[in-house]
């Protein structure tokens, strides 16, 4: 049923489109004809008036009667005399309603006293009769002052309204400009559903000089009626033809198209229903006997069903083996993910950001980090050769082996020697791995490391960023009893070290260009962020397939100060302020008094009011810095109290009072929480450094 409706709809739309095209063509033809008729009619109206003047010239007049042409000449001179008088006084450069009234009043008064009213009425009635007995909207005499760009209306006869004698307007509306040469006549112009034109009237005494112009306005409406009637009949005809054509196409489609298409549709539906409901499949012949396109479609549908059944049978035989492969791959990915620590960790002394983006095929990248003791943190990155489950299992073994040896307290060289030999044992797949291991002493910044064939790390030192020149030892699981050389550098507070695997620098774009170490350094220099570097890499490679894991690890060495005070007293604050002043001076942070105000207010509040009835009271304070901010954490086991939601009435006698209002004005971020029976205040204060 749907196919029949579609064919009917297509037929109806086609008929309407063709009819609309015919209607549009007819409109263009009639519109052009209407315009020609309007132009001719306007020209005839103007020339008819001029012919009436010529006829009047030939009539015999008595001594007291004037010829109309002579009257027009005198009347023109009369109005122009008054116009020139005001024009000499620069009246029209400062046109106003009061001056306009004065000018038009003088024309009207002179008209009554100086004009031959009998001849004027004869001329007026001749123009009025011509307007009323025709389609002309208005007929008017006008003089064009080309030097000043003005038109003066001498006599205006219209059906709806008329201008007063002497009325002045701009000549721009007639398509001419100030200073142009005045034409003998105006060609007819159609504008805003109005056709207008004009012709010069010459002086009776001198045929070479124009006295004024006669102009006519003819509305287009009178010429559009016939077009409207024709269009109405044509629209009706188009509707009838469209309905007839639609009915014909319905009968034709039902007999030769729709029934056969429905047979093909039924065959396809039944086959799909059997497939989705797990019913035994068999090809269903649509039984269409024609040799046209629909017949070929039916034959192809039947053949596709047969081929699909063959494919399903082949697929069933392969499913079990492929399912085992997919299960192995999922297991390998799970091994990779569960072997890695979380991708973010921050303490007072350091911060670690890490990320591993696996390739489509499972590989063997891994990273690790952990504290060896209170003063040392270790970072590890490695890349196992090979892909799939064997590489993932080898990665798991290597990670646990290296971390176990490091945590046992052995020297770094010995850790690598033992790990190398143990990874060689039973390594039937011949796998190996590159690795970089570094240990940062949080007290003095010493960073000891060994690089086993891995990519060189990148050091970020204040405004300088560079690739560390390290000894490239042989890979792990390569040569038995290989002696690995150790390196050492010193990191300053605020320095960072970035480790990565070759899946980053060797990633390629569509032009087969590598991302390279240079682009890594440029990205980190713009924004020291793993996420930013990852975004830059993705923009570079776009939709290129990732063939290797991409692993990132960024260690930042933070400056910090921490202290725990048991049974705190106000006197204990002096030592804290002294220690903090020394750190601020060292880093040229000049607003140390503001930090003292913040700590004095918050710590003294806790000491004075927070420990009533509390056993073994204590306060823990930690402060860390970077280029932009100072970060403050305060913990105490006093009574639950959030100082930032107390009423800020600036009353010196209230807890906090004015002091807490000052604290609020000095910090850029604050947070309070009560957890594990501890008050925790977290503050961020922007640094202002000394110049020079």
Q: CATH number, domain at 570?
A: 3.30.565.10
Whole-number pLDDT of residue 496: 96
Asked whether the predicted pLDDT for residue 413 surpasses 90, the reply is yes
Average per-residue pLDDT in the chain? 81
Q: For the domain that residue 365 is a member of, what is the CATH number?
A: 3.60.40.10
Q: Per-residue pLDDT tens for 140-161? A: 888 888 888 888 888 888 876 6
Cα 534 from Cα 650, distance rounded (Å): 49
β-strand partners of 459? 466, 497
Give the lowest-confidence range in 163-172, 360-369, 521-530, 583-592: 583-592
Residue 6 covered by a domain: no
Asked whether the predicted pLDDT for residue 627 surpasses 90, the reply is no
Q: Same structural domain for residues 493 and 603? A: no
Tokens of 438: 């570094």
Q: Same structural domain for residues 571 and 530? A: no
Q: Which of 189, 219, 249 marks a domain boundary?
A: 219
| Average pLDDT score over residue span 65-69 | 73
Residue 212 covered by a domain: yes
Residue 184 covered by a domain: yes
Q: Which of 185, 219, 253 marks a domain boundary?
A: 219
Q: Is 577 exposed, middle or buried (0-12, 13-18, 19+ CB in 10 A)?
A: middle
Asked whether the predicted pLDDT for residue 51 surpasses 70, the reply is yes
Tokens of 363: 């590989």
Determine the structural domain holding residue 651 and report its residue range: 560-686
Instruction: Give residue 458's pLDDT band: very low, low, confident or very high (50, 70, 90).
Output: very high
Q: Which of 219, 253, 287 marks a domain boundary?
A: 219
Tokens of 127: 């123009």
Whole-number pLDDT of residue 118: 81
The helix (H) or strand (E) run that includes residue 632 is strand 629-636
Whole-number pLDDT of residue 653: 44
Torsion over CA: 563, 569, 573, 574 (sign): negative
Greater confidence, 133 or 457? 457
| pTM over cut 0.75 | no
Whole-number pLDDT of residue 414: 95
Whole-number pLDDT of residue 255: 60
Is residue 577 within 8 A of residue 596, CB to CB? The reply is yes
Greater confidence, 388 or 454? 454
Whole-number pLDDT of residue 523: 96
Residue 127 covered by a domain: yes
| Average pLDDT score over residue span 181-198 | 76
Q: Which residues contact 266 (CB under 8 A, 6 or more apart)?
A: 286
The total domain count for the chain is 3
Is residue 458 within 8 A of residue 521, CB to CB? The reply is yes
Q: Per-residue pLDDT tens for 88-114? A: 656 666 656 677 777 778 877 777 677
Q: Same structural domain for residues 380 and 500? A: yes
Q: Same structural domain for residues 344 and 450? A: yes
The helix (H) or strand (E) run that includes residue 326 is helix 293-339
Angle separating helix axes 2-58 and 221-253, nearest 10 degrees = 160
Q: Same structural domain for residues 487 and 633? A: no
Q: Same structural domain for residues 69 and 188? A: yes
Residue 609 covered by a domain: yes
Q: Same structural domain for residues 211 and 112? A: yes
β-strand partners of 487? 449
Is residue 72 within 8 A of residue 123, CB to CB? The reply is yes
Q: Same structural domain for residues 399 and 500? A: yes
Whole-number pLDDT of residue 75: 85
Residue 396 covered by a domain: yes
Q: Per-residue pLDDT tens for 354-389? A: 999 888 666 678 999 999 998 899 999 999 988 777
Q: Same structural domain for residues 476 and 579? A: no
Asked whether the predicted pLDDT for residue 187 surpasses 60, the reply is yes
Reference 218, options 28, 40, 47; nearest CA is 40
Asked whether the predicted pLDDT for residue 1 surpasses 60, the reply is no
Q: Same structural domain for residues 85 and 182? A: yes
Tokens of 601: 């207010």
Q: What share of the chain in percent tops pLDDT 90?
A: 26
Q: Per-residue pLDDT tens for 4-41? A: 566 667 766 776 676 677 666 665 555 566 777 777 88
| Average pLDDT score over residue span 561-575 | 86
Instruction: Give residue 197's pLDDT band: very low, low, confident or very high (50, 70, 90).
Output: confident
Greater confidence, 55 or 219? 219
Whole-number pLDDT of residue 651: 42
Give the lowest-confidence range in 191-195, 455-459, 495-499, 584-588: 584-588
């Amino acid at each position: 049923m749907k196919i029949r409706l579609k064919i009917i709809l297509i037929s109806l739309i086609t008929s309407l489109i063709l009819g609309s095209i015919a209607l549009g063509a007819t409109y263009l033809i009639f519109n052009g004809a209407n315009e020609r008729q309007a132009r001719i009619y306007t020209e005839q109206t103007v020339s008819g008036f001029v012919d009436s003047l010529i006829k009047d010239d030939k009539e015999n007049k008595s001594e007291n009667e004037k010829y109309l042409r002579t009257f027009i000449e005198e009347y023109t001179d009369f109005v122009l005399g008054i116009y020139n008088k005001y024009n000499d006084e620069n009246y029209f450069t400062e046109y106003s309603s009061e001056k306009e009234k004065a000018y038009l009043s003088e024309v009207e008064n002179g008209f009554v006293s100086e004009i031959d009213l009998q001849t004027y009425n004869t001329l007026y009635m001749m123009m009025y009769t011509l307007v009323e007995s025709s389609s002309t909207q208005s007929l008017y005499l006008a003089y064009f002052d080309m030097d000043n760009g003005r038109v003066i209306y001498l006599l205006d006869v219209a059906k709806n309204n008329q201008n007063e004698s002497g009325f002045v307007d701009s000549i721009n509306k007639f398509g001419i400009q100030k200073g142009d040469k005045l034409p003998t006549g105006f060609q007819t112009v159609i504008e805003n559903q109005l056709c207008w034109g004009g012709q010069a009237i010459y002086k009776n005494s001198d045929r070479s000089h124009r006295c004024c112009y006669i102009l006519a306005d003819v509305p287009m409406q009178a010429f559009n009626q016939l077009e409207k009637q024709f269009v109405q009949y044509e629209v009706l005809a188009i509707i009838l033809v469209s309905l007839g054509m639609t009915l014909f196409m319905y009968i034709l489609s039902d007999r030769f198209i729709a029934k056969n298409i429905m047979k093909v549709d039924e065959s396809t539906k039944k086959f799909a229903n059997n497939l989705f409901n797990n019913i035994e499949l068999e090809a269903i012949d649509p039984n269409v006997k024609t040799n046209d396109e629909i017949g070929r479609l039916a034959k192809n549908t039947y053949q596709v069903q047969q081929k699909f059944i063959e494919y399903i049978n082949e697929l069933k035989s392969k499913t079990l083996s492929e399912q085992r492969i997919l299960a192995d791959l999922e297991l390998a990915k799970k091994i990779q993910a569960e072997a890695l620590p979380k991708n973010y960790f921050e303490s007072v002394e350091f911060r670690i950001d890490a990320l591993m983006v696996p390739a489509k095929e499972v590989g063997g990248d891994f990273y690790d980090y952990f504290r060896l003791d209170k003063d040392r943190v270790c970072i590890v990155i490695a890349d196992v050769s090979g892909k799939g489950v064997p590489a993932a299992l080898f990665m798991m073994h290597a990670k646990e082996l290296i971390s176990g040896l490091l945590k046992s307290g052995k020297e770094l060289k010995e850790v690598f020697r033992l790990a190398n030999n143990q990874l060689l044992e039973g390594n039937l797949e011949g796998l190996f791995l590159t690795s970089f291991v570094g240990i940062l002493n949080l007290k003095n910044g010493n960073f000891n490391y060994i690089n086993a064939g891995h990519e060189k790390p990148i050091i970020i030192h204040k405004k300088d960023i560079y690739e560390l020149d390290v000894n490239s030892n042989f890979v792990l699981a390569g040569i038995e009893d290989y002696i690995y050389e150790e390196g050492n550098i010193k990191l300053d507070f605020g320095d960072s070290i970035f480790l990565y695997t070759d899946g980053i620098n060797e990633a390629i774009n569509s032009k087969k260009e590598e991302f390279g170490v240079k682009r890594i350094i440029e990205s980190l220099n713009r924004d020291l962020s793993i996420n930013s570097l990852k975004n830059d890499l993705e923009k570079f490679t776009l939709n290129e397939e990732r063939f290797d894991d991409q692993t990132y690890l960024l260690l930042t060495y933070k400056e910090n100060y921490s202290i725990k005070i048991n049974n705190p007293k106000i006197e204990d604050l002096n030592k804290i302020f002294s220690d903090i002043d020394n750190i601020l001076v060292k880093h040229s942070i000049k607003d140390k008094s503001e930090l003292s105000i913040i700590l004095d207010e918050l710590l003294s509040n806790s000491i004075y009011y927070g420990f009533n009835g509390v056993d073994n009271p204590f306060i823990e304070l930690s402060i860390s810095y970077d280029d932009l901010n100072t970060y403050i954490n305060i913990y105490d086991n006093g009574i639950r109290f959030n100082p930032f939601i107390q009423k800020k009435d600036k009353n010196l006698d209230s807890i906090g009072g004015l002091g807490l209002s000052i604290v609020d004005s000095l910090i850029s971020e604050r947070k309070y929480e009560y957890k594990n029976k501890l008050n925790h205040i977290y503050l961020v204060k922007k640094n202002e450094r000394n110049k020079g």
